[in-house]
Every structure is written in C-alpha cells, then in structure tokens.
C-alpha cells in the first residue's frame, strides 16, 4: 500500500504582502483578495531555480537521510508544463544536488495544481510493480511564479513559491493512502492564464469539488463525517466555507490556516498543510484525513489517508 514516509515543506524569502504582488501584476482591486478571500501574504524567491526550491524542502526530510540509495524515482509534479529554460534539467539537477545515485528522474504535468496527488499515486503504483519493499520515491511539488501571468488567478487567488517534498514508500503504518479519485473536465482546458478562466468553471466548481470529495471518502470505505481533517488546496477561504455551507460539510474539519500565510502554491498546498497540521498536533494515530487539489483545465483530485 502506498504510504507517505515523510513530508517536508519550504517557504522561501520573507512574506510578501499581496498588495505588492497585486501592484506587480497590475491588479488594482487586490484588496478584495484580502477582505473576502482571506489572503494576506505569499512567499517568493525571485531568481532562485525550481530545483533549488525543491532541494530546500527535501533537505528537511529526516527519513531520507541515510536512505538516498533507496530512492528509485524522483518526480517533479508540475502545474505548468514549461517551467525551465531549455538549457536546464531540473529533475536531474535535483538528483545531483541531493545525492540520489540510483534515481530515475522525470516530470508529470497536465493535471495542473492537482499534479501532486497524481504523482504520489503514480509512484506508489510504480514501486508496487517493481516489487522492492524497501524502495522509495521522492515527489516534489510547488514551483516558481515565473511569469506575470502566473502571479494571480483572477477572481480566485495569489500564487506563492512554497514547495513540498514527499517521500513515498510501500507498507508500514505511516500515512497509508486508502483511496485516490480524479476527474478531468477537459472542456475547461482553454481557461488557463493568460487566457481568462471560463465563467462556467466557477459556476460548476463547487458541485464537481463536492462530488470528488465524497467519492474519495466512499472509495476509502468511510464518509466525510468520519474524517479528522480536510487538507485543501489553498486557493482562498471563501470557496471552502461556501462549499461547506452549500454541501453540508463540517467547516471545523477544514485546515485553512496556511491560506493567509502562503497563498496558493500550485500543487504543493495539501502537503504544506499536512506538515503544518502535523506540527500543530492535529492528527493522531489512526485519524483519517483527506487531501484535495483542483487544477485549472480542469482536474479535480482527492485522496484519503490514515495517519
């Protein structure tokens, strides 16, 4: 069974007020994001290469130290397919920086900000097929705000550069994946910045999101009511509170603490929330929790784990 052996996070630089990010993106109405969406700051590190941001997160994985030779796969889960110069090879560069001599490195895309959960599910299947119970995989999520178009998603969120590193293995009792559900609504594929996000996407978003959450809980043999926590993508607080109001979910299950602090960090959000929730002592052994990500394009993904 796929397990999260360890999860770590990294927030680069100093907190940047969203008003400053809005000025850089020529968004005069950015204060709405603070007043109604619950956003305050983001973290960015201009000029720092993606693999350096990922290496900083992976450097905090205590369970990786001394086991580098067991890492078989290194996967960058990218929201944006083109994220580096043609002369760069971020996955291979990361392997060299971290000293992972036996790893095959590659990137997964096309699920946008739901790519992190896709990568964890994928490498779990790959490790199971390989048949080595000691082998590990390393998933990296989060990326640079590399262009002006990526700074802000209109009517939605401000992007930050927090990164997460997830060490994935098989078996054991640590954070076992009980289900993974994903749906893609390809008719929204044109609504990705710099193109305007389609209005139909915003109208249908909550229904599709609620459906995915319930399916993931059912696939794990449980219900939404039995979950200890929901670790969401940190798009904003309004969308989540409205979801609870309209679809009967318990708002007390939502972990929204990082929304104000980090903004939306591409596919890293659920894992960033996992680290913070664990540090706050919000998960006890045996607790069920759900991770969720939504990627423009549009992909809805959710997975249930047992802590």
Which H helix or E strand runs over 22? helix 18-24
User: Could you report the per-residue pLDDT of 90-116, keeping only the tens digit for each?
Assistant: 888 899 999 998 999 999 998 989 999
Task: Output the pLDDT for position 32.
Answer: 85
Q: What is the mean pLDDT of residues 75-80?
A: 92
Segment among 65-69, 212-216, 295-299 with least mean pLDDT: 295-299
Q: What is the mean pLDDT of residues 165-186?
A: 93
Segment among 16-30, 135-149, 203-217, 287-301 with least mean pLDDT: 16-30
Rounded to the nearest 10 degrees, how much is the dihedral formed by the CA atoms of 184, 188, 193, 197?
A: -120
Task: Output the pLDDT for position 86.
Answer: 64
**Domains identified in the chain and CATH numbers:** 2-170 (3.40.47.10), 176-306 (3.40.47.10)
Its pTM surpasses 0.85: yes
Task: Output the pLDDT for position 229.
Answer: 98
Flag whether pLDDT at 190 surpasses 90: no
3-state secondary structure of 63: coil
Extract long-range pairs of 259-262: CB within 8 Å, 24+ residues apart. 259/38, 259/39, 259/234, 259/235, 260/38, 260/39, 260/40, 260/41, 261/15, 261/40, 261/41, 262/11, 262/41, 262/42, 262/43, 262/160, 262/162, 262/234
Q: What is the mean pLDDT of residues 74-99?
A: 83
User: Could you report the per-residue pLDDT of 256-281, keeping only the tens digit for each?
Assistant: 999 999 999 999 999 999 999 999 99
């Amino acid at each position: 069974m796929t397990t999260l052996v360890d999860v770590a996070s990294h927030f680069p630089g100093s907190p940047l007020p969203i008003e400053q990010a809005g000025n850089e993106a020529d968004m005069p109405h950015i204060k709405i994001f603070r007043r109604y969406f619950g956003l305050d700051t983001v973290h960015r590190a201009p000029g720092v290469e993606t693999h350096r941001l990922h290496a900083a997160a992976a450097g905090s994985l205590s369970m990786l130290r001394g086991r580098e030779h067991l890492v078989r796969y290194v996967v960058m889960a990218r929201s944006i397919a083109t994220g580096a110069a043609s002369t760069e090879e971020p996955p291979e560069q990361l392997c060299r920086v971290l000293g992972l001599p036996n790893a095959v490195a590659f990137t997964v895309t096309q699920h946008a900000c739901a790519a992190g959960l896709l990568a964890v599910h994928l490498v779990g299947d790959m490790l199971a097929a390989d048949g080595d119970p000691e082998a590990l995989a390393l998933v990296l999520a989060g990326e640079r705000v590399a262009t002006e178009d990526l700074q802000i998603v209109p009517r939605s969120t401000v992007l930050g550069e927090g990164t997460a590193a997830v060490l994935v293995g098989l078996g054991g009792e640590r954070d076992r994946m009980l289900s993974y559900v994903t749906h893609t609504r390809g008719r929204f594929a044109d609504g990705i910045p710099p193109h305007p996000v389609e209005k139909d996407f915003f109208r249908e978003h909550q229904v599709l999101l609620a459906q995915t959450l319930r399916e993931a809980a059912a696939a794990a043999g449980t219900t939404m009511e039995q979950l200890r926590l929901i670790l969401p993508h940190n798009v904003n607080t309004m969308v989540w509170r409205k979801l609870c109001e309209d679809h009967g979910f318990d708002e007390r299950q939502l972990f929204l603490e990082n929304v104000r602090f980090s903004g939306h960090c591409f596919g890293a959000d659920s894992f960033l929330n996992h680290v913070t929730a664990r540090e706050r002592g919000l998960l006890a052994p045996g607790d069920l929790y759900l991770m969720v990500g939504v990627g423009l394009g549009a992909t809805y993904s959710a997975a249930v784990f047992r802590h």
